[in-house]
Amino acid sequence: MRRIRLLRAGLAALLILGSWTAAGTLPASADDDSAPAPASDGLLRAMQRDFGLSSAEAKERLAAERTAGDIAPTARRAAGAAYGGSWFDAETRRLTVAVTSDASAATRRAVTSAGATVRTVEHSARELGAAKARIDRLSAPSGVSSWHVDPAANSVVVNVVEDRRADNDVRRFLTEARATGPVTVATVPGAPETFAAGTVGGDPYYTGNVRCSIGFSVHGGFVTAGHCGRAGAAVRGWDGTHIGTFQGSSFPGDDYAWVSVGSGWWTVPVVLGWGTVPDRLVRGSAEAPVGASICRSGSTTRWHCGTVLAKNETVNYSEGAVHQMTKTSVCAEPGDSGGSYISGDQAQGVTSGGWGNCSGGGETWFQPVNEILNRYGLTLHTA
């Protein structure tokens, strides 16, 4: 019984979050690690439910997203200084790469040869990034939700809470933001909040009276959201037993942390599918492009899917701004904080916060996992 209990504890501790699964389960033959794993029936059902696709359309989209992610680095290098950003186009099922009008014919051919569609834009990614960096240095009022570079719009999009746009401090901030470069203003229904929660049942982890969801396993522990606990805080598992201790944590500014694991708990390269899809094996952390589908699992709302909406977005929480976040259309609720986002078998990040819920819909942000690994010198536990 002790062995069974520890096995469940170990799995719960390191999987609790969730994952999404673009390429699914373990391949029939483990000899060919380069071959994509086939999409599971559970994943295809989730894609059909959340995207309104048929099974065949879901398979086609997953294959196209994998191809887009594979060619993105080559296409970016081919664009060089003319690079204006890239995104996955769900309609054409292709990666679109923006290049500035001064890009040579040879540059455009090189991008096309890489397998991407070319779109001409006015501003380079470097210009847009510089404008966003200048906005990052401004003091944002609570009526401003977030801002990010939108490559498809070729501008920096500033999101304002819809019933706060007329506020004087919001208007003043927008005037200052527009002075930094190309800026587009959009509205969102609510202000961003983190998704920590009080102690309730489920497969969570606990620190103090806060419940969060475990992120991805790393050698020696797991990664999660920084707002869930500070360095030195003790962590308990789903059964109340001691898991380990927060070894590092950063929030605001960032929203990441890592927890050491011991006391009979251990790490496994898996995230829970919660019965919607089979539990996911994690094989790496290659970044999915904007426009790609992605899924999230957490200890409150379990498994939900959506789309990558933006990268390098600054989120203006009440506690302070958090930088370099990725925004998605996936919903989440309190207790899901720290939970994992996964694309196929590739880890993407840990749940930070958002607005809305899984009944009426919403948007969420995650802290990219590679930044956490680099910050703390951690190694992702992979299958």
Q: Token pair 């203003």 is at which residue? A: 185
- Could you please report the per-residue DSSP string of 41-85? HHHHHHHHHHH---HHHHHHHHHHHHHHHHHHHHHHHHHGGGEEE
Going by their DSSP bridges, the two strands 117-121 and 94-100 should be labelled as parallel
What residues contact residue 277 under an 8 Å CB cut-off, 6+ apart?
A: 21, 24, 40, 42, 43, 45, 46, 303
Catalytic residue among 146, 337, 340, 352: 337
Distance, in Å, from the CA atom of 366 to the CA atom of 240, rounded to the nearest integer, reads 27
What residues contact residue 292 under an 8 Å CB cut-off, 6+ apart?
A: 22, 65, 68, 69, 88, 307, 308, 343
In this structure, are residues 123 and 153 in contact, taking their beta carbons and an 8 Å threshold?
no
CA atoms within 13 A on the CB side of 144: 29
Catalytic residue among 89, 203, 255, 279: 255
Residue 274 is classified by DSSP as B
Q: Which of 283, 289, 298, 383 is nearest to 328 (CA)?
A: 289
**Quick check: helix, strand or coil at residue 99?**
strand
255 in catalytic set: yes
304 in catalytic set: no
What residues contact residue 373 under an 8 Å CB cut-off, 6+ apart?
A: 218, 223, 285, 379, 380
What residues contact residue 223 under an 8 Å CB cut-off, 6+ apart?
A: 215, 216, 256, 257, 258, 259, 350, 369, 372, 373, 378
227 in catalytic set: yes
One-letter identity of residue 65: E
Q: Rounded to the nearest 5°, which phi and psi values hold at 207?
A: -135, 120
Catalytic residue among 123, 227, 304, 381: 227
For the record, the structure tokens of 259 come out as 């927890």
Distance, in Å, from the CA atom of 218 to the CA atom of 2, rounded to the nearest integer, reads 24
Distance, in Å, from the CA atom of 145 to the CA atom of 168, rounded to the nearest integer, reads 15
Residues noted as catalytic: 227, 255, 337
